[in-house]
């Protein structure tokens, strides 16, 4: 099986409606029900479309508002998508959930800050800001280095000059696929049925 490259996700640049501010987590070998059981008890849940998820997420903002997550099942995995959310990069939640499995998370806050997290069997194995992929943290920060190089698009050495082109966003989507085997498409996100849950921030 060939390794995906940043070119496979060039289309994401044309979807600011999906990826201006978001958190995307891919959780293999699990059901939506199992993921929901591992999260803090939701204040409410519903079965709905992407439009339901998006509307609920942007209706619940501000201090004390719940984290709104959408869980869709795909190829024995769960894709957790959060418009304008960040639950997927919370180690308190994701490290226990990663026991016995690997979880990847791709986050963009819409304010110039983004993160990639790779949780493996209860630990944060690798994390970095995609724009500064030469600086990585975690229990094994270089574990994905060869894969990142094969994917392309990451600046893995501290550049002496400003890069001509930034492709780190596309590369991060490709890295998520390379680790989990799950290819995320706009069709998958927009046309799937979700379990939409309001997770109280007071319980995190």
Give the domain ranges of the chain. 6-193
Return the pLDDT at 128.
97
**The pair of three-digit structure tokens given for residue 129, joined into one six-digit string:** 């800001």
**CB-based contact 105:23 (threshold 8 Å):** yes
Q: What are phi and psi of 187, to 5 degrees?
A: -60, -45
pLDDT tens digits for 70-80? 999 999 999 99
Tell me the pLDDT tens digit for each residue of 107-147. Answer: 999 888 999 999 999 999 999 999 999 999 999 999 999 99
Angstrom distance (rounded) from CA 203 to CA 178: 33
Q: Structure pTM?
A: 0.93
């Amino acid at each position: 099986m060939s390794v995906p490259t940043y070119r496979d996700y060039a289309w994401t640049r044309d979807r600011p409606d999906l990826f201006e501010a978001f958190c995307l987590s891919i959780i293999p070998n699990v059901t939506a029900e199992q993921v929901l059981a591992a999260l803090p008890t939701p204040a409410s849940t519903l079965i709905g479309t992407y439009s339901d998820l998006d509307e609920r997420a942007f209706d619940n903002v501000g201090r004390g508002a719940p984290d709104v997550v959408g869980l869709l099942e795909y190829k024995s995995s769960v894709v957790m998508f959060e418009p304008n959310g960040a639950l997927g990069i919370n180690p308190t939640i994701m490290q226990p959930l990663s026991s016995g499995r690997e979880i990847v998370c791709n986050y963009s806050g819409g304010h110039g800050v983004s993160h990639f997290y790779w949780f493996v069997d209860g630990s944060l194995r690798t994390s970095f800001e995609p724009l500064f992929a030469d600086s990585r943290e975690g229990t094994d920060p270089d574990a994905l280095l060869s894969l990142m190089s094969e994917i392309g698009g990451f600046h893995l050495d501290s550049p002496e000059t400003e890069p001509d082109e930034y492709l780190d966003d596309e590369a991060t989507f490709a890295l998520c696929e390379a680790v989990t085997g799950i290819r995320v498409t706009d069709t998958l996100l927009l046309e799937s049925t979700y379990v939409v849950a309001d997770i109280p921030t007071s319980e995190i």
